[in-house]
Homo-oligomer: A and B are copies of this chain.
């Protein structure tokens, strides 16, 4: 197997799609890189729209050559007799069409990539509404298989998903209004941008209002977006403020704390080498009184 001779353009990316009672929200960044000295921008959102009949939105993460090959296949199918995203009968069939395109690209490219030790790395979020059916949201894997979102977990992330996951887990439910879902997606993106260089502006934000059957709200957010700048500034400030307001820990002599069921677990995990004297110095531990923990 040959070594990696040249860098691949990677969509490190952060994309999130959310499906709530009022509709769908899609947010993607545009950073691509093939190593830190080759940073560029590419859009990772593609919209398939027939106003009045259907809106489908596709977000992509992974190797840019692969994700673009999939999009090319979807936009110009090799076999025109097969169903396309513009005539799929329902969203599950649309997800199958995307999965089939991924498998076709795999058949064509995977072996050649493997010869250069490049993974077949791509994943997709597909959401939308067709006619009078309910809006639905799917995640499609590199193997072409896919899962649908549920009311228990009404969102999918692809790419650098971990930084921005805690805030989504804390605020999003199926009944959250669309504007709050959009705000949450942008805060989640802001936390990711702050902590990971492989994700970058501008952002594509598309908000689909249920039953509109057309793209009614779309924004490309760059450094000149007042709203995103306000979120960036305010969220950081308010986080530091509530951080400051939460009481600091207070420490007390271990002897003052009532013994607990798993007493052994609370001792300092000291390691002793050979015949060194075992140190027995008592350490302070966290105060367990209500007063100590909540007022200060």
Contacts and interface: CB of A to CB of B under 8 A. Distances in A.
Given A227-B287, A231-B246, A270 B49 contact: yes
A170 B166 CA distance: 15
Given A194-B169, A294-B230, A222 B269 contact: no
Interface string A275-292: 010010101111111101
B215 A227 contact: no
A270 B235 contact: no
Contacts of A219: 249, 266, 285-286
A166 B194 contact: yes
Given A183-B243, A248-B180, A225 B288 contact: yes
Q: How many copies does the complex hold?
A: 2
Given A80-B274, A265-B202, A271-B48, A216 B169 contact: no
B163 A265 contact: no
Interface string A173-198: 00001011011101100011011100
Given A76-B273, A217-B284, A281-B51, A183 B86 contact: no
A74 interface: yes
A210 interface: no
A293 interface: yes
Nearest to A263: B220
Interface in A117-165: 160, 162-163, 165
Interface stretch (A2-10, A39-47, A106-114): A39-47
A22 to B, nearest CB: 13
20 contacts: A43-B269, A46-B271, A47-B268, A49-B281, A51-B279, A71-B271, A166-B194, A166-B195, A170-B239, A180-B248, A215-B283, A217-B283, A218-B268, A219-B249, A221-B286, A227-B288, A227-B292, A227-B293, A235-B246, A239-B242
Interface of A: 43, 45-51, 71, 74-77, 80, 84-86, 160, 162-163, 165-167, 169-171, 177, 179-180, 182-184, 186-187, 191-192, 194-196, 202, 204-207, 214-222, 224-227, 230-231, 234-236, 238-243, 245-251, 260-262, 265-274, 276, 279, 281, 283-290, 292-294
